[in-house]
């Protein structure tokens, strides 16, 4: 399939938003300049041939703070710098000589061989660190540039990659962690995910987008499809059968917007082509002048879905798309935790680490436990959890026990099941507050004080306004910031958003949590605060709520 080409340019306007298709190519902001000066994918050769030998000090700053991201590499935060100094220090003062490395796991599926390779890299090169992210990636920390050639050699030998795991390009493609096995899945979209990754990831036609581009493709609504740049969700067309409903323009951060349906039905075979058309619109018409307006959601909001569909059909696909019905949506998010039967009669088991934090040692143990129970693979969820697939019925209970023995709970409390946390101040240069350790403390405290409860209360903890752990979509969303402590001084704390939701049933509306000015808590008081909110909700809820 050919990559969609840039359309003919319209006459140049005096000032625009930096849209290439309208001729607005100058002036460039610093990020656009870096990408124009050299395609970021080219930095791989410099890492292998120069920086891996010269060490951290030999790295060109434009590569270090710009192009390295296209290979999944961010410098990590120097230890001991408090959140109050995040906004005032220069990048070089904040960063350590070590890197965070993001391994993309498109569709979330991992073989045991792949799991063992990641585990080995974690133990050998990353001080045993590993986090499952809420986008089905695995993040390692403490990586040295000297070790990158060997790390890539090992990852790529088993079909894994870090290519475009970060940067202004197509990030990991989310896929259902139970694709191909779920009893209620009608059409497995894995071939489309594979085709997109094979054709377009690392492809220079799409390696300079205005900003990041997030995708998800799933038959089941078991992922946050409303907040991606593009989502394909399974739907039955009354005349044409199973296919996918297309959503565009979602995203969180400081200007959250929900994706909108284009109202089209896309057959599986055409998903990669339509995906490439939408990415091409973003590349050509996306806003590049101001970084904070550069996501696809701003273009979709300005154009509206009718114009977006028309441009997609006329300028990029050269054909009309079929009108399609809205998909049936579940009445609450599907996280797959616990024991579930597959359509082939075997079972899958979803288990929860706490806030996605694991280790290389645990991943090694996991591979051993999984293998001992007759399974050959696991999958990662966009809720910082993991699943063991293809388990024979008679091995399920033994597996649940084995997972518990390595710190992965298949029958977790509500608190453990529904709490997520972003990377936070431990490693993230943008962070204002600590998140992972605080999330672990919070879960332990709520389990101790409230026990398990018969309600789903989601808690998303974020270290700054960037909302990597989806602040606005939880029942209790926490946005890290400095707040005034009891003694009048600034301390780490959170702005609280209440009542956010995704994946809601038809008839209800997905929506963002409400941010009320007065709703803030210091980080120290967070456990008491959440406990109070939860108790008030539990005491006051109506029947069936
Ligand atoms: Fe870092 Fe902020 Fe994202 Fe957390 S939300 S990982 S602190 S950028």
Q: For the segment 484-518, what is each residue's pLDDT rounded down to a tens digit?
A: 998 999 999 999 998 776 654 334 456 776 666 66
545 has pLDDT over 70? no
- Name, in order, each residue with C-beta under 8 angstroms of 253's C-beta and a sequence gap of 6 or more: 295, 465, 466, 467
pLDDT for 12: 46
473 has pLDDT over 70? yes
Segment 23-30 mean pLDDT: 86
pTM above 0.90, yes or no: yes
Using the mean position of ligand 1's atoms as its centre, give its distance from the Cα of residue 183 in Å: 36
pLDDT for 507: 40
- Rounded Cα–Cα distance for residues 232 and 316 (Å): 18
Closest ligand 1 atom, CA of 431? 7
Q: For the segment 100-153, what is each residue's pLDDT rounded down to a tens digit?
A: 999 999 999 999 999 999 999 999 999 999 999 999 999 999 999 999 999 999
DSSP character at residue 510 = -
- Rounded Cα–Cα distance for residues 267 and 40 (Å): 33
What average pLDDT is seen over the chain?
93
The size of the chain, in residues, is 545
pLDDT for 32: 95
**Cβ pair 171, 165 in contact under 8 A:** yes
**Cβ pair 351, 337 in contact under 8 A:** yes
The helix/strand/coil state of 39 is: coil
pLDDT for 456: 86
pLDDT for 119: 98
**Which of 38-52, 160-174, 468-482 shows the lowest per-residue confidence on average (mean pLDDT)?**
468-482
Select from 384, 383, 357, 354 the least CA-distant residue to 444.
Answer: 354
- Rounded Cα–Cα distance for residues 260 and 273 (Å): 19
Binding site membership of 439 for ligand 1 (Cβ less than 6 Å): no
pLDDT for 514: 67
> How buried is 61 (Cβ within 10 angstroms: 0-12 exposed, 13-18 middle, 19+ buried)?
exposed
Binding site membership of 421 for ligand 1 (Cβ less than 6 Å): no
Binding site membership of 464 for ligand 1 (Cβ less than 6 Å): yes
Q: How confident is the model at residue 540 (pLDDT cuts 50, 70, 90)?
A: confident
164 has pLDDT over 50? yes
What does residue 316 show for φ and ψ, rounded to 5 degrees?
-115, -40
285 has pLDDT over 80? yes
Beta strand 138-143 with 129-132: parallel, antiparallel or unpaired?
antiparallel
pLDDT for 508: 44
**Cβ pair 170, 272 in contact under 8 A:** no
Q: For the segment 61-102, what is each residue's pLDDT rounded down to a tens digit?
A: 999 999 999 999 999 999 999 999 999 999 899 999 999 999
Segment 468-487 mean pLDDT: 92
**Which of 12-21, 326-335, 424-433, 454-463 shows the lowest per-residue confidence on average (mean pLDDT)?**
12-21
**Cβ pair 505, 336 in contact under 8 A:** no
**Which of 6-15, 231-240, 289-298 shows the lowest per-residue confidence on average (mean pLDDT)?**
6-15
222 has pLDDT over 80? yes
pLDDT for 544: 67
- Rounded Cα–Cα distance for residues 52 and 44 (Å): 10
Q: For the segment 345-389, what is each residue's pLDDT rounded down to a tens digit?
A: 999 999 999 999 999 999 999 999 999 999 999 999 999 999 999
What does residue 393 show for φ and ψ, rounded to 5 degrees?
-55, -40
The helix/strand/coil state of 534 is: helix
Q: How confident is the model at residue 28 (pLDDT cuts 50, 70, 90)?
A: confident
Binding site membership of 176 for ligand 1 (Cβ less than 6 Å): no
1 has pLDDT over 90? no
Element (H, E) at 156: helix 148-157
Segment 227-246 mean pLDDT: 98
Segment 14-39 mean pLDDT: 90
**Cβ pair 477, 514 in contact under 8 A:** no
Q: For the segment 301-341, what is each residue's pLDDT rounded down to a tens digit?
A: 999 999 999 999 999 999 999 999 999 998 888 999 999 99
Closest ligand 1 atom, CA of 429? 1
Element (H, E) at 36: helix 30-37
Pocket probe for ligand 1: among 464, 465, 481, the residue whose CB has the most ligand atoms within 8 Å is: 464
Binding site membership of 203 for ligand 1 (Cβ less than 6 Å): no
Element (H, E) at 250: none
């Amino acid at each position: 399939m050919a990559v969609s080409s840039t359309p003919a340019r319209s006459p140049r306007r005096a000032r625009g938003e930096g849209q290439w298709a309208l001729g607005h190519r100058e002036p460039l902001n610093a990020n656009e300049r870096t990408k124009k000066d050299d395609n970021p994918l080219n930095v791989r050769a410099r890492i292998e041939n120069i920086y891996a030998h010269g060490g951290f000090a030999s790295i060109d700053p434009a590569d270090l703070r710009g192009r390295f991201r296209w290979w999944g590499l961010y410098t990590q935060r120097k230890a001991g710098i408090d959140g109050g100094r995040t906004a005032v220090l220069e990048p070089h003062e904040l960063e350590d000589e070590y890197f965070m490395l993001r391994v993309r796991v498109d569709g979330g599926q991992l073989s045991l061989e792949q799991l063992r390779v990641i585990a080995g890299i974690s133990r050998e090169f990353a001080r045993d660190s590993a986090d499952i992210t809420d986008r089905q990636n695995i993040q390692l920390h403490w990586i040295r540039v000297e070790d990158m050639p060997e790390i890539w050699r090992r990852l790529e030998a088993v079909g894994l990659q870090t290519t475009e795991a970060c940067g202004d390009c197509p990030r990991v493609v989310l896929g259902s962690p139970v694709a191909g096995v779920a009893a209620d899945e009608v059409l497995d979209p894995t071939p489309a995910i594979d085709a997109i990754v094979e054709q377009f990831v690392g492809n220079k036609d799409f390696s300079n987008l205005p900003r990041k581009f997030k995708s998800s493709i799933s038959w089941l609504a078991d992922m946050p499809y409303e907040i991606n740049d593009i989502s394909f969700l399974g739907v039955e067309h009354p005349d044409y059968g199973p296919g996918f409903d297309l959503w565009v323009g979602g995203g969180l951060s400081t200007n959250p917007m929900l994706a909108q349906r284009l109202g089209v039905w896309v057959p599986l075979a055409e998903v990669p082509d339509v995906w490439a058309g939408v990415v091409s619109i973003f590349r050509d018409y996306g806003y590049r002048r101001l970084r904070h307006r550069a996501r696809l959601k701003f273009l979709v909001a300005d154009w509206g879905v009718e114009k977006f569909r028309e441009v997609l059909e006329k300028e990029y696909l050269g054909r009309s798309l079929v009108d399609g019905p809205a998909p049936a949506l579940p009445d609450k998010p599907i996280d797959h935790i616990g024991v579930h039967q597959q359509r082939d009669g075997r079972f899958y088991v979803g288990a929860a680490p706490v806030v996605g934090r694991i280790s290389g040692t645990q991943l090694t143990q996991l591979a051993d436990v999984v293998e001992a129970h007759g399974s050959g693979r696991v999958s990662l969820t966009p809720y910082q959890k993991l699943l063991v697939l293809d388990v024979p019925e008679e091995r399920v209970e033994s597996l649940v026990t084995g997972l518990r023995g390595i710190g992965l709970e298949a029958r977790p409390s509500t608190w453990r099941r529904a709490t997520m946390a972003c990377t936070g101040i431990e490693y993230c240069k943008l962070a204002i507050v600590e998140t992972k350790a605080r999330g672990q403390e919070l879960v332990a405290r709520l389990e101790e004080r409230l026990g398990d409860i018969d309600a789903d209360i989601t808690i998303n903890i974020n270290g700054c306004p960037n909302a990597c752990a989806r602040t606005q979509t939880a029942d209790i969303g926490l946005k890290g910031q400095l707040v005034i402590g009891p003694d009048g001084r600034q301390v780490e704390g959170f702005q609280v958003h209440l009542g956010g939701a995704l994946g809601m049933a038809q008839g209800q509306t997905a929506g963002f949590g409400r941010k009320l000015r007065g709703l803030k808590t210091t980080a120290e008081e967070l456990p008491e605060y959440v406990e109070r909110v939860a108790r008030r909700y539990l005491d006051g809820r109506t029947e069936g709520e």
